[in-house]
């Protein structure tokens, strides 16, 4: 059976992986959300724990602003001479002329250093590798029209200065959008791995090799060596891979993919996720084995009463750190202040399962809040509570539409609930939607369901972009007190229409 279960479910795209001894470390793109660059740790490659984020303070990311699908693109993590390094791109820096950023630490759980910017390297998807003389080389997808394609240059990791002019490496196999380069020194070869074909259904991973960094790079005869394009496979958009040698000397690759559902063209809702495949080296080239790793079921449920002084690393803000608009309350709970600085006062977490239930409780004596599921700032379904009434609203592009209101008795704190439930199966065995999103309020044990709404409008195929769904609580006006948020997967079963 081929791999169809992600090692990281939910929007954890563009995985990059490294190993130290028997422990593996994986980072992902975070785009407009802060803290940025989540870091997962594993000792078996199939079960992973979120231990922190690399970008956790303002001094590390001066220009952000929360534009949808902007922010942090495709970081690479490597370990060299006792130090962990992450190189990444903040695309909001590009108009300012700042290149990729480089941070380091001795402990991947953090804290990580303030960034060094690499002047003269304008582009996305950077990689870092050290040669036999211990010189660091940065490779990236250039956005400089005078130096197009995949560029590489040696750098000073202390200052970020290029030590030689950038040179063009292999430009791919001929598919669209060659990007996501990773450069490896393996045996007597330099291997250059690329993502090609765009990050949609044509996505693929290709590879080439050369004896020296001066090239020429020779393409693998079986490119693309990883892709699901034009296949009837439950995982699509596979690509953007990173190779890793295991502690036992065998090899694997982490890569992104999506799990589309519903009628053609299929709709993926939780974003691009991280998957794992085995790698065999045959005649000096990587060959994928999708049957090697069995990913066990994972219970991703949680209940957070916000009782401590520090937020769990799952919690995100849009273009700002949650600490800039939240404050823990004595005895538990979290104060969210809509007027604390610029930007949305939204604390959110990734949706990670195909069907799930999330609920929230907050008080609204001094403001108005909303519990919502969103894919960006224009596409969301939510429940707004102002202390006396709960209103269910759907936002699709420029349209916001109320689908019901329910009065709340004085002195009662309602439970707001959002569920992703299976879509009905038609007689010919197909569901039109990827899922349905049910909005409900529970008051003193009585449930009021406002309806179950088409999940396609909260999918990447409809909204565009590079992220996935998140859910959370936003202060719209004044201050609200968040008491708790619960999340749990639910049984996947569908009704027959």
Average pLDDT over residues 273-277: 98
For residue 124, being part of any structural domain is answered with yes
pLDDT confidence of 201, banded at 50, 70, 90? very high
Domain C-terminal end among 256, 289, 322: 289
For residue 9, being part of any structural domain is answered with no
Query: Mean pLDDT in the chain?
Result: 95
For residue 404, being part of any structural domain is answered with yes
Assign residue 337 the CATH number of its domain.
Answer: 2.60.120.200
pLDDT confidence of 2, banded at 50, 70, 90? low
Residues 81 and 129 in one domain: yes
Domain C-terminal end among 289, 311, 331: 289
Return the pLDDT at 85: 98
Residue 497 clears pLDDT 90, i.e. is over it = no
- Of 32, 127, 179, 481, the catalytic one is 179
Residues 245 and 309 in one domain: no
User: Over the stretch 417-436, which tens digit does the pLDDT of each residue have?
Assistant: 999 999 999 888 889 999 99
> Which residues, in sequence order, are CB contacts of 149 under 8 Å at separation 6+?
141, 142, 168, 169, 171, 178
Residue 496 clears pLDDT 50, i.e. is over it = no
Residues 40 and 174 in one domain: yes
Q: Percent of the chain, pLDDT > 70?
A: 98
Assign residue 163 the CATH number of its domain.
Answer: 2.115.10.20
Return the pLDDT at 146: 82
For residue 427, being part of any structural domain is answered with yes
Number of domains in the chain: 2
Residues 224 and 363 in one domain: no
Residue 197 clears pLDDT 60, i.e. is over it = yes
Return the pLDDT at 430: 86
User: Over the stretch 126-149, which tens digit does the pLDDT of each residue have?
Assistant: 999 999 999 999 999 998 888 888
Residues 457 and 363 in one domain: yes
Average pLDDT over residues 181-200: 97
Return the pLDDT at 429: 81
Return the pLDDT at 331: 85
**Domain limits for position 397:** 302-489
- Of 5, 14, 353, 433, the catalytic one is 14
Half-sphere exposure (CA, 13 Å, Cβ side) for 145?
0
Residues 356 and 322 in one domain: yes
For residue 11, being part of any structural domain is answered with no
* Catalytic residue check, 492: no
With tokens 């569908």, the residue in question is 494
For residue 367, being part of any structural domain is answered with yes
With tokens 């439950």, the residue in question is 234
Return the pLDDT at 375: 97
Residues 333 and 268 in one domain: no
With tokens 């969301």, the residue in question is 380
For residue 296, being part of any structural domain is answered with no
Return the pLDDT at 1: 40
Residue 453 clears pLDDT 60, i.e. is over it = yes
* Catalytic residue check, 14: yes
Residues 281 and 172 in one domain: yes
Residues 154 and 20 in one domain: yes
Residues 326 and 197 in one domain: no
User: Over the stretch 41-97, which tens digit does the pLDDT of each residue have?
Assistant: 999 999 999 999 999 999 999 777 789 999 999 999 999 999 999 999 999 988 888
Q: How far separated are the first and last CA of the chain, in Å rounded? A: 30
> Which residues, in sequence order, are CB contacts of 497 under 8 Å at separation 6+?
424, 425, 426, 427
Return the pLDDT at 491: 79
Residue 162 clears pLDDT 60, i.e. is over it = yes
Residues 205 and 66 in one domain: yes
Residues 68 and 163 in one domain: yes
For residue 295, being part of any structural domain is answered with no
């Amino acid at each position: 059976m081929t791999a169809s279960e992600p090692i990281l479910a939910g929007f954890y795209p563009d995985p990059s992986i490294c190993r130290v001894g028997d422990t593996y470390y994986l980072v992902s793109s975070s785009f407009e959300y802060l803290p940025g660059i989540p870091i997962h740790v594993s000792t078996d490659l199939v079960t992973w724990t979120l231990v922190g984020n690399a970008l956790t303070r303002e001094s590390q990311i001066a220009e952000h602003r929360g534009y949808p699908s902007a922010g942090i693109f495709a970081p690479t993590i490597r370990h060299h001479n006792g130090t962990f390094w992450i190189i990444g791109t903040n695309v909001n820096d590009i108009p300012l002329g700042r290149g990729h950023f480089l941070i380091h630490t001795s402990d991947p759980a953090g804290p990580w250093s303030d960034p060094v910017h690499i002047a003269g390297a304008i582009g996305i998807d950077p990689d870092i590798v050290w040669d036999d003389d211990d010189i660091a080389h940065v490779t990236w997808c250039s956005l400089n029209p005078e130096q197009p394609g995949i560029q590489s240059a040696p750098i000073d990791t202390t200052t970020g200065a290029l030590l030689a002019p950038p040179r063009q490496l292999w430009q791919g196999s001929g598919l669209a959008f060659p990007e996501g380069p990773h450069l490896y020194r393996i045996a007597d070869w330099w291997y250059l791995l690329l993502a090609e074909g765009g990050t949609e259904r044509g996505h693929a991973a290709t590879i080439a090799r050369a004896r020296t960094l001066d090239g020429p790079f020779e393409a693998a005869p079986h490119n693309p060596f990883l892709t699901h394009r034009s296949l009837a496979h439950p995982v699509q958009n596979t690509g953007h891979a990173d190779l890793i040698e295991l502690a036992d000397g065998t090899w694997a690759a982490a890569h992104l993919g999506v799990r589309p559902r519903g009628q053609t063209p299929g709709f993926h809702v939780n974003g691009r996720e991280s998957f794992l495949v085995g790698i065999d080296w045959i005649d000096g080239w990587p060959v994928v084995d999708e049957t090697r790793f069995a990913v066990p079921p994972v219970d991703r449920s949680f209940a957070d009463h916000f009782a401590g002084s520090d937020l769990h690393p799952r919690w995100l803000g849009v273009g700002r750190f949650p600490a800039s608009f939240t404050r823990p309350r004595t005895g538990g709970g979290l104060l969210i202040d809509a007027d604390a600085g610029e930007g949305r006062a939204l604390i959110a977490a990734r949706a990670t399962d195909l069907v799930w239930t999330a609920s929230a409780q907050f008080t609204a004596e001094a403001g108005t809040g909303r519990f919502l599921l969103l894919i960006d700032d224009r596409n969301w379904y939510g429940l707004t509570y102002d202390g006396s009434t709960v209103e269910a609203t759907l936002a699709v592009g420029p349209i916001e539409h109320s689908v019901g209101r329910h009065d709340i008795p004085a002195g009662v704190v309602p439970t707001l609930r959002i569920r992703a439930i299976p879509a009905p199966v038609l007689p010919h065995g197909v569901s039109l939607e990827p899922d349905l999103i049910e909005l409900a309020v529970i008051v003193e044990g009585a449930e009021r369901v406002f309806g179950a709404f088409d999940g396609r409008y909260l999918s990447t195929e409809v909204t565009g972009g590079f992220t996935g769904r998140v859910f959370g609580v936003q202060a719209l006006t004044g201050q609200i007190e968040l008491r708790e948020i619960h999340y749990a997967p639910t049984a996947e079963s569908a009704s027959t229409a």
